[in-house]
Amino acid sequence: MATRTAVVGDKERRRPMERARQATLVRHLTVALVAGLVLYVVSNALSAFDNLQLATMAYSFTAVAGLTVLTGLNGQVSLGHGAFMCIGAYATAKLLGEGTDHLPLALVLLLAALITAVGGVLAGAAAARLRGPYLAGATLALAVGLPTIADRFPTFLGASNGLTVIPSTPPASLGATFPLERWQAWITCLGALIVYVLLANLMRSRYGRAFRAVRDDEVAAELAGLHVARVQVLAFVVSAACAGLGGGLFVVVTQLAAPGAFALTLSVALLAAVVLGGLGSLWGAALGSAAIVLIPQWSDDLSKSLSLSSNVQANLALAVYGALLIGVMLAAPRGLAGAFDWVHQQVRRASTRREEEEQA
Amino acid sequence: MTRTTRLPAAVLAAAALAFGVAACGSDNGGGSSGGGGGASAPGITKTQVTVGGHFPLTGPAAPGYSEIPRAIDAYFQHVNAQGGINGRKLKMITRDDGYNPTNTVKVTKQLVLQDKVFAILGGLGTPTHTKVVDFLNASRVPDLFVSSGCLCWDEPDKHPWTFGWQTDYKVEGKILGQYIADHYKGKKVAYFLQNDDFGTDGAAGLDQYVPKASVVTRQTYEPGNTDIGPQMAKIKASGAEVIASFSIPAYTALVTLAGVKLDYHPQLVVSNVGADPTTLTGLLKAFSKGKAPASLIDGVRSAYYLPSGDDTSNPWIAQFKMIHDKYIPKLPWDGNVLYGEALAFTFAEALAQAGQNPTRQGIVDVLESGKVKGPGLVPFRYSKDSHAGFTGEAQSVIKDGKLVEEGKALQTDDGSGDITPTDFDPGQPPANMIPAGSD
Amino acid sequence: MTRFIDLTLNGIANGAIYAAVALSLVLIWRATRILNFAQAGMLMITTFIAWSAIDHGASYWVGFALALLSGLVLGAVVERTVIRPVEGAPPLNAVIVTLGLLVLLQAIAGMIWGGNPHSFPPAFSIKGYNIADHTVLFSPADLFGVLVVAAVMVVLLLLFQRTSLGLRMRASAFEPEVARLLGVRVGHMFTIGWALASLAGSLAGVLVAPNVFVAPNAFDSVLVFGFTAAVLGGLESPPGAVVGGVVVGLALSYVSGYAGASVVTLGALAILVAVLMIRPSGLFAPAAARRV
């Protein structure tokens, strides 16, 4: 794709850029629409349990996508995104309250994401001063420490018992026998698609470029006029808001917000999904989210069908998960997205070489 | 680095389709969630009945409790070896929730939606099972014999499909409270409670009998946080001579250990769920240093609704132990195994009486009719108005690592009713331990 | 006042354990520039090995020695097989590999020994000392823990500062290329570093096991607090790790005693954030030069 590198006047520069921006938005919306249609068709064909799995993948995607932007694009390793899901989940649970009389679900989820964004500002401001292992250690403490706030306010936050909400039932227009799980899959998939469009646009925008610049060379970015700390806080806020939405959708699916859901294993799973899918890649985030839901499921089914001893059965999914993380990092550190890219490059290289040979 | 958008979109679509196809292939797809109706219920065929339950196979509640599903399975194997109930073999699917309510939600949905069980049997834990009771009732799945003494299982209007089995914690609190009031008059009492309905229900029962002025402190613990040093220090500082404890085995053991560390030896009165001598001895084994580990728990008082597992002269115990020896000899013969087998026996009793073609509603009707007697020291409370299980307990004490029961079994209600002794007798166990069907 | 003394002594006893874990994390960081999230899993495995031996009749000290020995071996094996490939790679790779290893080790332990927690004997009596007619929250077992960790720290310090092996290890960590040119077997130095670090970790494991009941997930809190201690002290400094461990132990003991057991992890988070805001590279961080 040739680009004009000659100096051009402001007006002339603005027109093609506007066109480019609109094209990006249209492109992403189209992808989202197509994906949405596919998901609609698929969810109608799935059983109740598989719809539940789909919903789980969808809310995981919102959190994983945010994290991949933070870690892949902006270079900040966060072990604590489970804590942001926790904030979003509890906010949603409190806003939905005990009965059915509450704000519309969409508004509740938006508020939950905003509340989590505030948390993201605080965490981001603290994180901006930290680098590498110190950031990892601090976010680890966040992941483990934050859920315990619920124990401190047992009446308000339900302690380890947690807060329960009544499930959002499908509207009457869909029929009386419309399965709850499919409705939940629709809500969560819609959330996931919205997050996809927003993040995809963000990544292609000037903010996305700022994120990458700060990741690659802080000093150069500072010299180029970027306020490094502000960029890093922004990245944190965006990813936290996405995780908060994920937490809210989690409550929609499980009807429960309890500290036990947000243990360290959740933060590890989110990071694993980011890495398995490929750092900084949104559809890698989708594949990674699918992986962290399906792999334990498949290992579980495998161990049941092999009728292994109960000890082995209970732990096989975890063992596969751990081995997979190690294996992928050793063999394909750029994850599935990286693997696809490599294949794509090889194909292009092969076709270019063939063209050159033909010309020669 | 440019990337065409067609590639990711196509991959996403392809992945979604592939997933959909795989999922459709793996089961019959398109079904609605649970629910009875139709000629036969899910989980029941001409030759097999499948039930399932969530249990803590790992985590803070695993000591002792992880044996319960294996004991249920052992009893089922015994029944299957004799031909099953009304020609149907019994199958138990166990899923681990690690005593974590979020996992309980996940695995229970798996049991109902994926494994399509006929009923949930023995779902364990108060903080855990409360999270799935709404889902199970909405899905009209029989939720039988919850392994917990919470009062919340006895709500036939709100939760018509849920039945308790073991004695309510409030009933137990009353019985233990009466013992404390009668035998430790004037002594200072401390409460040590799990921080959920288990603890609060027990405390409510205790409060009906233990004089308010005697209770010098109430401490709680969170299952999962093993540091109870601060609570124990406060209890010691309060000068309590008796600790009334509603705790799971790991925490009863920790209380005992803290007592050793602080050189503080109050009288422990513990709920039956945390007082199994064999489990406690196992947890304390490493700390006895030359002395018999059982001596650390000698004198601990409790109460129980089944005959003591050490009383092999009792024909029920003899039979249950025989099943244990044959099918799960590697597990210790203790209160948890007895619990599991007795619970499984009760299920078999209800299933047998549900006739040749049991349905989900049918099992519920059998239980509400009050015809199920069970193997305990007291009868069940099952009726149209109550889904609570055993009506009371007998006082017990641990001597030489064995559970010894004292006096007649005592019965009472969840309210302010009196405690009365009972002469209930479950009779002789049925032939081959297979309950008779209805005729 | 007695309460304060109790909590202080209890804090020091726990602090020794966190110091040992922090020490192992710092050693690995200094040797290979990797944060070993799998440390809790490794020390869990070695503690299980010790428990197995003791359960089959061996004496406590045989089990203790076995734990330390298997720690050495496990550390070396892990470095050679799983860590070597990611040593030069971006730090996120090592984070994921060690997290994956942690999960894998917990699963393997669950498969071999089951999920049921087991009791583990203490080195000495756990009955608190009787001082002025008051039983304090500090026992012979706790004293042993503090002394052993202090001894290990002194030995490691002497090793690094006074021996040629220590010099070679430090050289390999700071300037691997130069060290290689000077004839140092850098790969071996990395392996030895991991082995020693894992030894420190296994020590922490057997010291804390009596209090937590040995199970695959029982050591998770030790990991978190050990991490907090290491980061607090600054990952560059072994004495910092020990100081960090004691600080974390004391702070958590006071929080637990005065504010309640439920806020302890929150307390750890608050302390960590407070320290890192003032000194982003930990308490004992060397002054960082800014390259402009």
What is the per-residue pLDDT across A233-276, written as a single tens digit (0 to 9) for each?
Answer: 999 999 999 999 999 999 999 888 888 888 888 888 898 899 88
Whether residue A321 and residue C95 make contact (CB cut-off 8 A), yes or no, is: no
In this complex, which of A1, A47, A162 lies closest to B101 when CB atoms are compared? A162
Contact flag C268-A145 (C-beta cutoff 8 Å): yes
Nearest-Cα distance to chain A for B42, in Å, is: 14
Percent of chain B exceeding pLDDT 90 equals 60
Q: Is residue B418 situated within a structural domain?
A: no
Chain C residues with CB inside 8 Å of A77's CB?
Answer: 91-92, 95
- Nearest-neighbour CA in chain B from A16: distance (Å): 18
CB contact under 8 A, A47 and B31: yes
Please report whether residue A164 resides in a domain: yes
C121 → closest Cβ in B253, B282, B286: B286
Test mutation, C36, C92, C112, C277, chain A, max A CBs within 10 A: C92
Inter-chain CB proximity A325 and C231 less than 8 Å: no
Instruction: Give pLDDT tens digits for A90-116.
Output: 999 988 887 777 788 889 999 999 999
Assign B16 a pLDDT band (cuts: 50, 70, 90).
low
Total domains in chain B come to 2
Instruction: Tell me the mean pLDDT in the region A143-166.
Output: 81
pLDDT tens track for C180-204: 888 888 888 899 999 999 999 999 9
Q: Which of B33, B96, B224 sits opposite A48 (nearest CB)?
A: B33
Chain centroid, CA A137 distance in Å: 21
Compute the nearest-CA separation of C57 from chain B (Å): 12
Q: What is the mean pLDDT of residues C49-72?
A: 91
CB contact under 8 A, C119 and B221: no
Nearest-by-CA chain B residue for C253: B230
Is residue B306 helix, strand or coil?
coil
Confidence class for position B288, pLDDT limits 50, 70, 90: low
pLDDT at B81: 94
B326, B351, B377 — which closes off a domain? B377
Amino acid type, B342: A
Q: Which residue of C lies nearest to B287 if distances are taken between CA atoms?
A: C121
Mean pLDDT of chain C: 86
Give me chain A's average pLDDT, please.
85
Query: Is residue C127 within 8 angstroms of chain B, CB to CB?
Result: yes
Cβ within 8 Å, pair C211-B282: no
CB pairs under 8 A between A and B: 127
Among the ranges given (A17-21, B214-218, B249-253), the one the predictor scored with the smallest mean pLDDT: A17-21
Chain A contact probe: residue of B96, B114, B140, B200 with most A CBs at under 10 A: B114
Interval C92-132: pLDDT, tens: 888 889 989 998 999 899 889 877 778 888 888 778 777 77
In a domain, C247, yes or no: no
Q: Which of A179, A255, A283 sits opposite B8 (nearest CB)?
A: A283
Count of domains for chain C: 1
- What residues in A contact C78, CB-CB < 8 Å? none
> Taking CB atoms and an 8 Å limit, are A126 and C91 in contact across chains?
no
Residues of C in contact with B96 (CB under 8 A): 115
Domain membership of residue A301 (yes or no) is yes
Which tokens hold the place of B256? 């005992």
A26 compared with B4, residue with greater pLDDT: A26
Local structure of residue C134 (DSSP, 8 states): E
What residue of A is the nearest CA neighbor of C94? A329
Q: Which residue of A has its CA nearest to C226?
A: A137
Element (H, E) at A262: none
> Quick check: B162 pLDDT over 90?
yes
Is B398 within a domain? no
Indicate which CATH number applies to the domain containing B211: 3.40.50.2300
Chain A environment of C237 (Cβ under 8 Å): none
**C-beta atoms of B263 and C135 within 8 A:** yes
Residues B91 and B153 in one domain: yes
Q: Which residue has the higher pLDDT, C123 or B388?
A: B388
Q: Which domain holds residue B236?
A: 170-304
DSSP structural state of residue A71:
I
Residues B132 and B180 in one domain: no
Chain B residues with CB under 8 Å of C264 CB are: 225, 227
Residues B152, B389 contacting (CB under 8 angstroms): no
- Which residues in chain A have their CB less than 8 angstroms from residue C101's CB? 322, 326
**Mean pLDDT value across residues A283-288:** 92
Average confidence (pLDDT) over A331-360: 83
ipTM: 0.83
**C85, C227, C272 ranked by CB distance to A330: nearest:** C85
Chain A residue at shortest CA distance from C91: A132
Phi-psi domain of B239 (left: phi exceeds 0; alpha: psi -120 through 50; beta: other): left
Distance from CA of A356 to the nearest CA of B (A): 22
- Closest chain A residue by Cα to residue B198: A161
- Contact at CB, B33 and A180, closer than 8 angstroms: yes
pLDDT classification of B289: cutoffs 50, 70, 90: low
pLDDT greater than 80 at residue B327: yes
Hey, which residues 234-273 in chain C have their CB within 8 Å of chain B? 256-257, 260-262, 264
Categorize the per-residue pLDDT at C169 as very low, low, confident or very high, splitting at 50, 70 and 90: confident
Contact A144, C269 (CB under 8 A): yes
Quote the Cα angle for A337-A340-A344, to 5°: 135
Residue C59 forms contact with B (CB below 8 Å): no
Same domain, B60 and B186: no
Pick from B96, B109, B196: CB nearest A49: B109
- The average pLDDT across B208-214 equals 93
Residues B176 and B279 reside in one and the same domain? yes
Between these two residues, B71 and C292, which has the higher pLDDT value? Answer: B71
Residues C154-172, mean pLDDT to the nearest whole number: 86
Instruction: Provide the residue range defining the domain that includes C8.
Output: 2-216
Q: Do B59 and C115 touch (CB under 8 A)?
A: yes
The beta-carbon contacts of B199-203 under 8 Å, at least 24 apart in sequence, are: B199/B246, B201/B149, B201/B150, B201/B151, B201/B168, B201/B169, B201/B170, B201/B173, B202/B169, B202/B170, B202/B172, B202/B173, B202/B244, B202/B246, B202/B271, B203/B173, B203/B246
Same domain, B191 and B294: yes
Residues of chain A positioned with their CB less than 8 A from the CB of C114: 311
Contact status of A348 with chain B (Cβ, < 8 Å): no
| Residue in C closest to B62 by C-alpha | C116
Per CB-CB distance under 8 Å, the chain A contacts of C99 are: 268, 271-272, 325
Give the total number of structural domains in chain A: 1
User: In Å, how far is C283's CA from the nearest CA of chain A?
Assistant: 12
What is the average pLDDT value for chain B, to the nearest integer? Answer: 86
Q: A130 vs C104: CB contact, 8 Å cut-off?
A: no
What's the rounded Cα separation, in Å, for the pair C257 and B41?
Answer: 55
Q: Are A298 and B27 in contact (CB under 8 A)?
A: no
Chain A hits for B12, CB-CB cut-off 8 Å, are 31, 35, 38, 283, 286
CA distance C100 to chain B (A): 20
Most confident stretch, A154-168, B31-45, B181-195: B181-195
Cβ contacts of C261 on chain B, cutoff 8 Å: 221-222, 225, 227-231
Cα–Cα distance for residue pair B303/B407, rounded to 1 Å = 11
Residues B295 and B334 in one domain: no
SS3 A34: helix
Looking at beta carbons, which residues of chain B come within 8 Å of C217?
Answer: 58-59
The CA-based angle B412-B416-B419, given to 5 degrees, is 30
Q: How does pLDDT run across B332-378, given as a tens digit for each residue? A: 899 999 999 999 999 999 999 998 889 999 999 999 998 898 899 99
Range of the structural domain that residue A223 is part of: 21-359
User: In this complex, is the C-beta atom of C213 within 8 Å of any C-beta atom belonging to chain B?
Assistant: yes
A9-25 tens-digit pLDDT: 555 566 776 676 678 88
Give CA–CA dist A72/A80, Å, rounded: 15
Select from B228, B229, B286 the Cβ nearest to the Cβ of C119.
B286
CB contact under 8 A, B102 and A286: no
- Closest residue, chain A, to C259 (C-alpha): A152
In which band, very low, low, confident or very high, does the pLDDT at B12 lie, cut at 50, 70 and 90? low
Query: In the structure, how many helices (H) and strands (E) does chain A have?
Result: 15, 2
User: What are the Cα distances from residue A266, in Å, to A50, A250, C44, C224?
Assistant: 21, 12, 21, 15
CB contact under 8 A, C266 and A323: no
Is pLDDT at B35 greater than 50 in this prediction? no
Domain boundary among B377, B394, B422: B377
- A160/B222 CB distance under 8 A: yes
- Compute the distance between CA of residue B175 and CA of residue B191 in angstroms, rounded to an integer: 15
